[in-house]
Structure 1
Amino acid sequence: MIRQGFPRALIVLVGTAAAVITLAGVQAVGSIVGPVVLALTLVIAVSPVRGWLVRRRAPVWLQVAVPLALVLLVLLGMVAVLSIAAAQLAILAPTYTVQFNAMVTDLQHWAAGLGYGSDQLNKALSSLDPGKLIGVAQSLLSSLLGVLSSLFLIVVLLLAMSLDAPVITRIVDAASTERPALTNALKTFSSKTRRYLIVSTVFGLICSVLDVTALYILDVPLPLLWGVLALITNYIPNIGFILGLIPPALLGLLEGGPKTMLLVIAAYMAINVVIQSFIQPKFLGDAVGLSTTATFLSLIVWGWVLGPLGALLAIPLSLLVRALLVDSDPDGAWTAALISGRLPEGSSQPRPDTRPNTHPDPRPGTRSEQSGDH
């Protein structure tokens, strides 16, 4: 009996169309989806604390209050740091007018020595303004601060999820007999997300301390704030440290000139590239379960769908989608392999055929005939 089904090309096209429609719908309600995913990620991050309290037989209200308090402290700390950084930049912007004018004068003399007229250079520099340069950094900080603008909604969601977490855990455990694939996928999503957050936080703190030290040595203003900003942007894969580099590099340019700016850029690249590209992946191992290409594409897609919050949550969002659509499917082993860049467990790479050639070569004077004569 021949099994008839839809052509694979049609399945791919329909799936792609469904994905586009779903992402467009998520983008339309991004102001709700973003805080929900952020709250879910934070609840997952502090779940070991709740588990520890459960094992110690702590009261139920304490099992909810302690993890919730930890999350609120983190959120309020991020809001305070980003608000202070944006305010300090607004205060510092007018104080660098003299330095900027002196830098423009030096650039005019340098260009005149190369044979360029002052009129041409003045037209090129007419659009430059220290306020505009600082405005770039301010817009970056404001966009990150906008991520937490729905703080009240996030707090309410955190409270609700913290109250429901013990019940949800028992339901997932009870469903393991009827839906083992889905249950394992959700547990894997939680463990990978938690490990990703822990490792990223630890290495983000190391990078921040080193960045603050370098900025202190180079006399860049507000080094502590830029160190905290580097910690926050460390959760953005691939391009996070570049976003955290923009404000101190601009201040280094206005404070000490191009040399200081280049030294700031060199220090950030030496610290962040080495730690995030060579050391951190060894500790993460397969915790993320996403290849380099999949990680970069997830950053682009979720950044487009949810904005700055999507960039911050690109990895947890991709892990959630993988858990629901790929890991929960018993036949999705090879799809998961394409996403993670790792072969499925129990599979092996094809080996070259090393068996001897048993078919005689009909041509006269071949090696087989010569060996048969001896």
Structure 2
Amino acid sequence: METVRSSSLAILIGSAAAVIMLAGLRSASAIVGPIVLALILTIAVSPLRGWLDRRGAPFWVCVAVPLAVLIALLLGLGAALAVSVAQLAALLPDYTDEFNQLVDSFAKTLTRYGIDQGKVGNAVSRLDPGELFTFVQGFLAGLLNASSAILLIVLMLFGMCIDATGTVRQLERLAGDRPELVAALRGFARDTCRYLVVSTIFGFVVAVFDTIVLYAFQVPLPLLWGLLAFLTNYIPNVGFVIGLAPPAVLGLLTGGVGTMIWIIVAYSAINFVLQSLIQPKFLGDAVGLSFTLVSISLILWAWVLGPLGAILAVPLSTLARALLIDLDPSKHWLTGLLTSAVDQPAAREPARRRPGPKE
């Protein structure tokens, strides 16, 4: 009975500490978000850094080349987001008439089927075309705010890129004395890098195909919606819907119901083939989290860090798993509970401590 009480008390204290920590991270999200982004980006270019190091490149090359790649990526993405937000703000007023005509037609259809005209009028009067893309515009603006902290991100990237090679070598020295710690951190870095690289490649391919479809149907701002499709590829479970909704609605306004249906069909086919059939074969069990936990992670980290947290939800949850579970041999039994039943046979084996020289 005493053991049960101690376990329950430990769970309560741990839960309270987690709530306090997450609330603190949320209050400092303007600082924490860019720092976490810098960490994840540093991990993402670790294969390039390792390739240069193995070929005997000087230390400054191992630092400068990955850093230059990351800075170019951030500047390009920040510029694209700024242009996209401005274009979206300028586009919406142009479709006010089309939106009102569509709403009137929809209201007449409902009235024709016997729905009370007064209730239909009240519902229609609350619709505002200016708020149609508020969520997407807020999402892009949130990412733009994070990328606007470019000085902080560059400073963190510079420091992390300098420390990365030394950190890898220090982990190699600790492997004999702290095998669980080294295995957990290496597993997190390996899985995160693999997840980001594969998601980036497939996100780019999906964005290219989606943009071609939108050009074919003459949907306004196809490059913006291609960028949105690329960014939402990192958002698990709901990213596809977020990327699909704005171009589908614009297709409805510009070309009617038929255009909207074709856009939805084309997006769904591209997403199913590339992201549901092909991409999982390359990712394997890199995530190591069940569908439910991924969904909870998305909600949690989006609440803590905003739009940036939604994109980094999987790497952040993988880091939490490495520090809280993989690091502690007594908690390895939780690994099977975190993965889905389908993925369970392929779950990673817990790290086994190798005997030291004195054992």
TM-score in same-fold range (> 0.5): yes
Query: Which segment is superposed worse, 17-26 or 307-316?
Result: 17-26
Structure-1 separation of matches of 2:87 and 2:303: 29
Instruction: Say if 1:82 and 1:229, in contact at 8 Å, map to a contact too.
Output: no
Deviation at 1:193, TM superposition (A): 0.3
- Number of residue pairs the alignment of both structures matches: 345
Structure 2 partner of 1:48 = 47
Structure 2 partner of 1:66 = 65
**1:204 partner amino acid:** G
Instruction: Say if 2:232 and 2:243, in contact at 8 Å, map to a contact too.
Output: yes
After TM superposition, the structure 1 = structure 2 runs for residues 297-312 of structure 1, keeping only pairs within 5 Å, are 297-312=296-311
Alignment RMSD: 2.4
Deviation at 1:124, TM superposition (A): 2.4
Q: Percent identity?
A: 51
Structure 1 partner of 2:159 = 160
| CA deviation string 1:7-46 (max 9, x = no partner) | 3222322222222222222222222222111101100111
Instruction: Say if 2:107 and 2:124, in contact at 8 Å, map to a contact too.
Output: no
**2:61 partner amino acid:** L
Judging by fraction of residues, say which structure has more helix.
2
Query: Which segment is superposed worse, 118-127 or 91-100?
Result: 118-127
After TM superposition, the structure 1 = structure 2 runs for residues 268-347 of structure 1, keeping only pairs within 5 Å, are 268-341=267-340, 342=344
Structure 1 partner of 2:184 = 185
Q: 1:113 to 1:291 in 2, by over 3 A?
A: closer
Q: What secondary structure does 1:7 align onto?
A: helix
**2:274 partner amino acid:** I
Q: 1:61 to 1:336 in 2, by over 3 A?
A: same
Structure 2 partner of 1:31 = 30
Larger radius of gyration: 1
Q: 1:253 to 1:176 in 2, by over 3 A?
A: same
Structure 1 partner of 2:12 = 13
Structure-2 separation of matches of 1:237 and 1:53: 32
Structure 2 partner of 1:204 = 203
Deviation at 1:63, TM superposition (A): 1.4
Structure-2 separation of matches of 1:201 and 1:291: 21
- Structure 2: any 5+ residue segments left out of the alignment? 351-359
Please state if 1:83 is matched with 2:54.
Answer: no
Structure 1 partner of 2:353 = none
Structure-2 separation of matches of 1:34 and 1:135: 22
- Structure 1: any 5+ residue segments left out of the alignment? 348-374
| CA deviation string 1:312-332 (max 9, x = no partner) | 111111111111111111222
Instruction: Say if 1:134 and 1:250, in contact at 8 Å, map to a contact too.
Output: no
Deviation at 1:346, TM superposition (A): 7.5
Deviation at 1:188, TM superposition (A): 0.7
Q: 1:55 to 1:8 in 2, by over 3 A?
A: same
Structure-2 separation of matches of 1:100 and 1:133: 10
Deviation at 1:115, TM superposition (A): 4.1
TM-score (norm 1): 0.85
Deviation at 1:116, TM superposition (A): 4.9
Structure-1 separation of matches of 2:96 and 2:348: 62
Structure 2 partner of 1:352 = none
Higher relative contact order (CA 8 A, sep 6+): 2
Instruction: Say if 1:288 and 1:315, in contact at 8 Å, map to a contact too.
Output: yes
Structure-1 separation of matches of 2:44 and 2:284: 18
